[in-house]
């Protein structure tokens, strides 16, 4: 069941361990077996084992599996953020923050930052620049300061503290602070396991370093680090080697994909120049070769989408829709694909497009609960004022919010006398409703409040597709009811909402998702459309070596999601070039049968390889030869006993 290296990793104990491996080599499986082993063989206390995963979904799967196999319920299976939230709650006094803080979502944080920029009149600073400055300080722990940006950052920090708010990056930052100031944390865990270690950023690495002793196992594949743009540091693996002097175990067998796919994945990586290259073994397939991955070219997006949907229909004879996925580099390319699937009557789900809890109507409704949980939260208060149909002007809104101090509910009563009678009555009623419904049952509370403020009418007045939005609200109510019945507190519920990644996960049908969100998943059939320069690799990477390396890793992740069938397609509109990654794949690994009649495919693929006159080349049938002359897509080659004109695509340069 486990191969010898996997078994060795499971049983390893007593020293730090670095488990490094390629895609599909059973890292997750080994990690789970290791936890089981720690509990049932080593007798460790499950509540003193910390497991850190990259997604909440992975955390839930591990928790459930351990409960099922060894009957133990793990207390600490966390993402870095959920771990941080628990720590901050326990150590809030030490950190000088109140326990009932509100988590600020990204767009609310952006609004707050925009306000600061407006207020400070800092026209020359863009929102993006300020955000990146804050991230660098908090996630990359960069010390140096820029006076202007620092002032804006301090202002932001002040606002967060005064309104009892936390944003995502401050969670990790504060957690690290708690770890450094409270030695108890270093004694809290008997074993620490970290999955997807390659995606840790500096602050996350420092968090681990400050609580881990020798009982730590990190699992990672630096070739799958795809979050460098979010400050992930794939070379944390090298830091780990230096700081912890771990034993290193490598997993080299891939159990997921048929051999052609593995050989393609290896070819993609062989062009990488990463510093950790030697740490990661070259993947060895355990499955034999079956279908060569198919390459297809189309003139237009519509044609590509149509072909994919027809191919899916054919494959349906062998695979259920759920086992097929279309992975895209950027979401805007899904438009045509969705239409084509829809027209063919193929069920599909778009994973993580607009996440459920990020939809406007859901945020509108939840603003009431957020405010009841934290009456200092002015952003939620502002949002609920808008939702409550009081038709306040911006000035009246500012007046109310300006009057508000710590407890917005009490303070905004003071604004009543400054408002026109009708609006004052409206606001008064709203405040009454809010104070009346501060009971515990958040499900009933929200239902009652939404009823009283006329939320349905608000949706109707403000959104064209309000029936769909109403459906979402019903879904939200079902969710709240279920959580309430499970005894989850409002505070924990709101934290959960903030951390929920893909709620849209339960649908059936073909999955459409970004390559980023496909990480850790596997599908028997994978389509990779729009493999074009500027799309994949992304245009931002075309002139930047480091980003291009990350795109390459992303392409590697995409390919290695496929178990049996892989389709690589692109379109050839004006100014479009096929992805340069395609040229890194040796042609004998691909099914290029569609190009037999349209030989122009080959030079496109080969366009990045420069063949020169006088160069030594190899042809599959004719063997070694030397190029005499070049004419567009063909070359005249001297093979010794004869000379032939050959399409460039059939020639391999010989160094
Ligand atoms: N020893 C084994 N024998 C047979 N199958 C295995 C073995 N180990 C892993 N597998 C299978 O290989 C596949 C990949 O395993 P897993 O998802 O754990 O890999 P991973 O290394 O986490 O992959 P990735 O990093 O690409 O997401 C799974 O289908 C798993 O069941």
| Mean pLDDT confidence for 270-289 | 84
Question: Which of 36-50, 162-176, 185-199, 482-496 shows the lowest per-residue confidence on average (mean pLDDT)?
Answer: 482-496
Question: Measured in angstroms, how far is the CA atom of residue 257 from the centroid of ligand 1?
Answer: 10
Question: Measured in angstroms, how far is the CA atom of residue 521 from the centroid of ligand 1?
Answer: 10
- Please tell me whether residue 81 adopts helix, strand or coil conformation: helix
- The more confidently predicted of residues 122 and 312 is 312
Bond before 69 cis per omega within 30 degrees: no
Q: What is the pLDDT of residue 618?
A: 86
185 pLDDT more than 90: yes
- Sequence length of the chain is 655
Does CATH number 1.10.260 belong to domain 599-654? Answer: no
Question: Which of 93-102, 171-180, 192-201, 607-616 shows the lowest per-residue confidence on average (mean pLDDT)?
Answer: 607-616
Question: Measured in angstroms, how far is the CA atom of residue 505 from the centroid of ligand 1?
Answer: 21
Ligand 1 pocket test: which of 3, 29, 523 has the largest number of ligand atoms within 8 Å of its C-beta? 29
601 pLDDT more than 50: no
- Please tell me whether residue 508 adopts helix, strand or coil conformation: coil
- Annotated domain spans of the chain: 4-87+176-251, 102-163, 294-347+509-595, 359-500, 599-654
Q: What is the pLDDT of residue 603?
A: 39
State the Cα–Cα distance between residues 217 and 193, nearest whole angstrom: 5
Question: Measured in angstroms, how far is the CA atom of residue 215 from the centroid of ligand 1?
Answer: 24
Does CATH number 3.40.50.300 belong to domain 294-347+509-595? Answer: yes
607 pLDDT more than 60: no
Question: Measured in angstroms, how far is the CA atom of residue 409 from the centroid of ligand 1?
Answer: 54
Q: What is residue 299's DSSP assignment?
A: S
Reported as a single tens digit per residue, the pLDDT across 534-585 is 899 998 888 888 889 999 999 999 999 999 999 999 998 767 889 999 998 9
- The more confidently predicted of residues 603 and 36 is 36
Q: What is the CA radius of gyration of the chain?
A: 28
**What share of the chain in percent tops pLDDT 70?**
91
Q: What is the pLDDT of residue 602?
A: 44
Q: Are strands 49-53 and 191-194 parallel, antiparallel or unpaired?
A: parallel
| Mean pLDDT confidence for 362-376 | 88
354 pLDDT more than 60: no
Contact 337, 308 (CB under 8 A): yes
Contact 196, 218 (CB under 8 A): no
**Fold exhibited by the domain 4-87+176-251:** Rossmann fold (3.40.50)
Q: What is the pLDDT of residue 54?
A: 86
Percentages helix, strand, coil for the chain (3-state, rounded to 5) are 55, 15, 30
Which of 176-180, 374-378, 483-487 is modeled with the greatest confidence? 176-180
**What share of the chain in percent tops pLDDT 90?**
41
356 pLDDT more than 70: no
Which of 144-148, 514-518, 630-634 is modeled with the greatest confidence? 514-518
- Measuring from atom 6 of ligand 1, which residue has the nearest CA? 255
Question: Measured in angstroms, how far is the CA atom of residue 25 from the centroid of ligand 1?
Answer: 5
- Measuring from atom 3 of ligand 1, which residue has the nearest CA? 1
Pocket of ligand 1 (CB under 6 A): 2-3, 6, 21, 23-29, 221, 224, 255-256, 520, 522, 560
195 pLDDT more than 90: yes
List the Cα angle 192/196/199 in 5-degree steps.
115
Residue 30 CA: which ligand 1 atom is closest?
18
Q: Are strands 651-653 and 616-619 parallel, antiparallel or unpaired?
A: antiparallel
| Mean pLDDT confidence for 468-490 | 83
| Mean pLDDT confidence for 281-291 | 90
Say whether 267 counts as a known binding-site residue: no
Q: What is the pLDDT of residue 97?
A: 86
Q: What is the pLDDT of residue 420?
A: 76
Residues whose CB is less than 8 angstroms from the CB of residue 106 and which lie 6 or more positions away in sequence, other chains included:
168
Specify which residues 265 forms β-bridges with. none
Say whether 23 counts as a known binding-site residue: yes
Q: What is the pLDDT of residue 507?
A: 55
Ligand 1 pocket test: which of 21, 25, 521 has the largest number of ligand atoms within 8 Å of its C-beta? 25
Say whether 27 counts as a known binding-site residue: yes
| Mean pLDDT confidence for 263-272 | 89
Q: What is the mean pLDDT of the chain?
A: 86
In this structure, which CATH number among 3.40.50.720, 3.90.1150.10, 1.10.486.10, 3.30.70.1560 belongs to the domain 359-500? Answer: 1.10.486.10
Q: What is the pLDDT of residue 8?
A: 97
- The more confidently predicted of residues 13 and 494 is 13
Residues whose CB is less than 8 angstroms from the CB of residue 464 and which lie 6 or more positions away in sequence, other chains included:
none
Please report where in the chains the tokens 């020359």 appear, as a residue. 124
Q: What is residue 166's DSSP assignment?
A: E
Token pair for 47? 């509540």
Whether 294-347+509-595 shares its CATH topology with 599-654 is answered: no
First vs last Cα of the chain: how many Å apart? 44
405 pLDDT more than 70: no
Reported as a single tens digit per residue, the pLDDT across 78-92 is 999 999 999 999 999
Reported as a single tens digit per residue, the pLDDT across 308-346 is 999 999 999 999 999 999 999 987 777 678 778 877 878
The band of 64, judged by pLDDT with boundaries at 50, 70 and 90, is: very high
State the Cα–Cα distance between residues 460 and 466, nearest whole angstrom: 5
- Measuring from atom 15 of ligand 1, which residue has the nearest CA? 26
Residues whose CB is less than 8 angstroms from the CB of residue 564 and which lie 6 or more positions away in sequence, other chains included:
257, 258, 290, 291, 524, 525
| Mean pLDDT confidence for 444-460 | 88
State the Cα–Cα distance between residues 556 and 429, nearest whole angstrom: 58
Q: What is the pLDDT of residue 188?
A: 94
State the Cα–Cα distance between residues 133 and 209, nearest whole angstrom: 24
Say whether 26 counts as a known binding-site residue: yes
Reported as a single tens digit per residue, the pLDDT across 406-431 is 666 666 777 777 777 777 888 888 88
């Amino acid at each position: 069941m486990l191969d010898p290296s996997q078994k060795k990793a499971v049983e390893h104990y007593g020293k730090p361990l670095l488990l490094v491996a390629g895609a599909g080599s059973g890292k997750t499986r080994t990690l789970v077996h290791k936890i089981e082993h720690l509990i049932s063989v080593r007798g460790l206390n499950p509540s003193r084992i910390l497991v850190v995963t990259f997604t909440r979904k992975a955390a839930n799967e591990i928790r459930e599996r351990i409960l099922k196999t060894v009957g133990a319920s793990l207390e600490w299976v966390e993402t870095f953020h959920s771990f941080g939230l628990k720590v901050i709650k326990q150590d809030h006094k030490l950190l000088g923050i109140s326990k009932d803080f509100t988590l600020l979502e990204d767009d609310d944080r952006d609004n707050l930052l925009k306000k600061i920029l407006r207020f400070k009149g800092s026209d020359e600073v863009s929102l993006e620049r300020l955000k990146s400055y804050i991230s660098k300080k908090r996630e990359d722990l960069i010390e140096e300061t820029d006076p202007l940006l620092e002032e804006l950052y301090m202002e932001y920090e002040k606002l967060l503290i005064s309104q009892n708010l936390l944003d995502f990056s401050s969670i990790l930052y504060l957690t690290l602070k708690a770890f450094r100031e409270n030695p108890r944390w270093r004694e809290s865990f008997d074993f620490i396991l970290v999955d997807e270690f390659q995606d840790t950023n500096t602050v996350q690495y420092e968090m681990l370093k400050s609580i881990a002793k020798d009982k730590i196992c990190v699992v990672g594949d630096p070739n799958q680090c795809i979050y460098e743009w979010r400050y992930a540091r794939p070379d944390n693996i090298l830091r780990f080697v230096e700081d912890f002097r771990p034993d290193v175990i490598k997993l080299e067998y891939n159990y997921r994909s048929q051999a052609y796919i593995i050989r393609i994945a290896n070819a993609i990586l062989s062009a990488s120049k990463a510093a950790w290259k030697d740490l990661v073994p070259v993947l060895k397939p355990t499955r034999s070769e079956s279908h060569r991955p198919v390459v297809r070219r189309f003139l237009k997006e519509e044609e590509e989408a149509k072909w994919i949907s027809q191919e899916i229909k054919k494959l349906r004879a062998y695979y259920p829709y759920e086992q097929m996925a279309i992975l895209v580099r950027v979401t805007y390319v899904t438009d045509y694909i969705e239409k084509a699937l829809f027209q063919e009557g193929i069920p599909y789900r778009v994973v993580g497009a607009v996440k459920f809890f990020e939809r406007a109507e859901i945020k509108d409704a939840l603003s009431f609960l957020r405010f009841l949980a934290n009456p200092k939260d002015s952003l939620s208060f502002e949002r609920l004022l808008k939702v409550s149909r009081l038709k306040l002007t911006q000035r009246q809104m500012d007046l109310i919010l300006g009057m508000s101090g710590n407890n917005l509910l009490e303070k905004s009563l003071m604004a009543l006398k400054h408002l026109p009678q009708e609006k004052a009555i409206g606001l008064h009623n709203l405040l009454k409703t809010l104070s009346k419904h501060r009971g515990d049952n958040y499900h009933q509370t929200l239902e009652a409040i939404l009823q009283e403020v006329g939320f349905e009418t608000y949706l109707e007045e403000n959104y064209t597709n309000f029936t769909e939005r109403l459906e979402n609200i019903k879904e939200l109510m079902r969710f709240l009811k279920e959580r309430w019945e499970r005894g989850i507190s409002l505070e924990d519920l709101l934290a959960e909402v903030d951390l929920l990644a893909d709620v849209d996960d339960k649908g059936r049908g073909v999955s459409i998702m970004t390559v980023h969100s496909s990480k850790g998943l596997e599908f028997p059939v994978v389509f990779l459309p729009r493999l074009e320069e500027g799309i994949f690799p992304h245009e931002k990477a075309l002139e930047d070596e480091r980003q291009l390396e990350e795109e390459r890793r992303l392409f590697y992740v995409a390919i290695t999601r496929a178990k049996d069938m892989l389709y690589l397609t692109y379109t050839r509109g004006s100014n479009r070039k096929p992805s340069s990654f395609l040229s890194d794949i040796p042609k004998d690994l691909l099914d290029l049968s569609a190009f037999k009649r349209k030989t122009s495919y080959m030079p496109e693929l080969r366009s990045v390889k420069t063949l020169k006159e006088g160069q030594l080349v190899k042809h599959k049938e004719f063997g070694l030869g030397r190029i005499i002359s070049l004419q567009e897509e063909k070359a005249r080659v001297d093979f010794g006993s004869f000379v032939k004109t050959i399409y460039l695509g059939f020639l391999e340069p010989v160094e």
